[in-house]
Structure 1
Amino acid sequence: MSKFTGTGVALVTPFKRDNSVDRAALEKIVDHCIEGGVEYLVVLGTTAESATLTREEKETVKQTVIKANAGRLPLVLGVGGNNTAEVVNELHTTDMSGFDAILSVSPYYNKPTQEGIYQHFKAVAEASSLPVILYNVPGRTASNMLPQTVLRLARDIDNIIGIKEAAGDIVQAMRLIKEKPEGFLVISGDDMVTLPMVLAGGAGVISVIGQGFPREFTEMVRYGLDGNATEAYRLHYKLMDAIDMIFEQGNPAGIKSVFRALGLADDVLRLPLVKVDRDLGQRIAGFVEKNALRLRSGTV
């Protein structure tokens, strides 16, 4: 079984009140995830607010996670963009020590054709010394990487090992699962449809809610991978309200509110993102207070 089967989590970048990177909080979050049983960690993805980080800050985040992880779990590094030459240059000049794969988002804003997307990822894969996981998230990129493009990449390029599929289209995900080459990973990028995707044959998830409630979410995914739909859905329905809430006012504002309620990190974000409003913050805190101990005790 691949080291990227199961639950990966897209780590946030916690900030102090002065907007600097909070390394101590990031270390706590890494420990929280590992102790909760997640299978791997994703660093500097969208949830990390990487678009607002300087090159120096990105290096700080990388080294903090590598140190806190201490070799316990596989690490995936987010490396992507809408300028292919720049992404290729970053892959050539970045020290990938300590990482096991990269996660690379489909080019945003430019709205390339399917052929353009194919050629972009062909160049990325050729430049990468690590295996590549594609990332399809039309809600952020304004273009959908269609199944035929993904399958073409999967069949043509050995270094492309999977896709984080976040189109929110279960039928599209099922087409990928049905037609994919053996060993190619179809990974959910949407917490709410993770379980249906896993039960349909998906490899797991790169999750946001999973870093807030790692034990419960990883157990749900494992039940799904084992084909135990009854136990998996029991956990899924217990977490549904929390999943809805953390995305209600955008990511990562919601999950940072969870971390504040858990006492792991402050809920500071960098503009143009802002923290959740008072009403949502109170609802999230209420869920954490009422459910965290019950969830962790296994009495869900």
Structure 2
Amino acid sequence: MQVQNQLKGTGVAVITPFTKENAVDFTALGKVIDFLISNRVEYLVLLGTTGETPVLSTAEKTDILLYSYEKIAGRVPVVVGIGGNDTRHLLEDFTVLPLEKATAVLSAAPYYNKPSQEGIFQHYKLIAEASTKPIILYNVPGRTGRNMSAATTLRLANEVPNIIGIKEASGDMAQCMQILKERPEGFLVLSGDDALALPQIACGMEGVISVAANAFPSEFGNMVRACLMNNFSQARAINNELIPTYDLMFAENNPAGVKAFMYKMGLIENVLRLPNVPLSKPVFSAIEEWMSNNR
């Protein structure tokens, strides 16, 4: 099956659970993986920014991948997040991290440096040529400080064969529609905004890489599948139920919001690594109230 066809529907940017002592909690990670797969998500994204990768060591990333591959055991495709703002160092990650069982690599645009559009193009061109796995671009200007323009995305899609798609999280619907209108055949366009997934799929996106689906894989996955079948009345009904959770999840920072939900569900400890901290008491209390009224 073509890689792009394996990565339609709901992918989950999997959180990294930590113990109370702040070590990676592999027992909880296994529980989360089983929870997501049993609730029919289409694929998992490991080591994305939702997984708090900026505060994971290379050894921890390697251990997470090896453990997860074994736990997943081929039940769903796996995408691995490898991104950064030092292109040369990023090339080393592609050789150090175990990618043999990965279906593709999701690579966030360089953050903080604020490169020009030409710099973004050359960065992706170099890593795509060096990678043994297909590359999915990730445009998330709210985190990186620089938007990757539709023109740059389309240039990469047309000129670099190993780039097969994009997770588009600019929130700019006009930009999204331009990419969808002008993309080459087979180029995968995925939503990176849970709250915008429904209208973006209506515009032609093939799915979403979701944060919210960590906590609500069945509901969110059903919403996305309904969208892809053009059953928007069903999709709207599900999405309307989920809208309050989107607001609570992203009220302060990601992944503090989704981790709070998952803690209340008994899946993980409510632990993050600095500089991120758990949600403030008022927001956490609002999540508890929502859970008590809806679960």
- Provide the TM-score with structure 2 as the length reference: 0.97
- Residue in 2 aligned with 1:171? 174
Q: Unpaired runs of 5+ in structure 2?
A: none
Task: Find the aligned partners of 1:248 and 1:280 in 2 and give their Cα distance.
Answer: 8
- Residue in 1 aligned with 2:25? 22
Contact 1:151–1:179, Cα closer than 8 Å, also in 2: yes
Q: For residues 213-272 of structure 1, give each alpha carbon's deviation from its aligned partner in whole angstroms, at most 9, with x where no partner exists.
A: 000000100111111111111111100000110000110000000111100001100000
- Residue in 1 aligned with 2:241? 238
- Residue in 1 aligned with 2:263? 260
Counterpart of 2:241 in structure 1: which amino acid?
K
Q: How big is the alpha-carbon RMSD for the aligned residues of Structure 1 and Structure 2?
A: 1.0
Task: Find the aligned partners of 2:104 and 2:289 in 1 and give their Cα distance.
Answer: 37
- Residue in 2 aligned with 1:132? 135
What is the correspondence of 1:92-131 to structure 2 with a 5 Å cutoff? Answer: 92-131=95-134
Contact 1:151–1:180, Cα closer than 8 Å, also in 2: yes
- Residue in 2 aligned with 1:69? 72
- Residue in 2 aligned with 1:12? 15
Structure 1 residue 290, shift from structure 2 partner: 2.5
Structure 1 residue 282, shift from structure 2 partner: 1.8
Counterpart of 2:26 in structure 1: which amino acid?
R
Task: Find the aligned partners of 2:218 and 2:276 in 1 and give their Cα distance.
Answer: 28
Alignment pair present for 1:276 and 2:279:
yes
- Residue in 2 aligned with 1:200? 203
Task: Find the aligned partners of 1:109 and 1:158 in 2 and give their Cα distance.
Answer: 27
Task: Find the aligned partners of 2:136 and 2:279 in 1 and give their Cα distance.
Answer: 31
Counterpart of 1:141 in structure 2: which amino acid?
T
Displacement over 4 Å in runs of 4+: none
Contact 1:8–1:207, Cα closer than 8 Å, also in 2: yes
Alignment pair present for 1:189 and 2:226:
no
Number of residues paired by the alignment?
A: 292
Alignment pair present for 1:41 and 2:51:
no
Q: What SS does structure 2 have at the residue aligned with 1:248?
A: coil
Structure 1 residue 60, shift from structure 2 partner: 1.7
- Provide the TM-score with structure 1 as the length reference: 0.95
Contact 1:190–1:207, Cα closer than 8 Å, also in 2: yes
Contact 2:43–2:76, Cα closer than 8 Å, also in 1: yes
- Residue in 1 aligned with 2:154? 151
Counterpart of 2:193 in structure 1: which amino acid?
D
Counterpart of 2:122 in structure 1: which amino acid?
Q
* Structure 1 residues 17 and 105: CA distance shift in structure 2, 3 A: same
- Residue in 1 aligned with 2:232? 229
- Residue in 1 aligned with 2:62? 59
Structure 1 residue 80, shift from structure 2 partner: 1.0
Moved more, 125-134 or 51-60: 51-60
Q: For residues 68-87 of structure 1, give each alpha carbon's deviation from its aligned partner in whole angstroms, at most 9, with x where no partner exists.
A: 21110000001111111111
Q: Percent identity?
A: 47
Contact 1:170–1:193, Cα closer than 8 Å, also in 2: no
Alignment pair present for 1:162 and 2:165:
yes
Counterpart of 1:199 in structure 2: which amino acid?
A
Structure 1 residue 189, shift from structure 2 partner: 0.5
Structure 1 residue 287, shift from structure 2 partner: 2.0
Contact 1:43–1:75, Cα closer than 8 Å, also in 2: yes
Counterpart of 2:256 in structure 1: which amino acid?
A
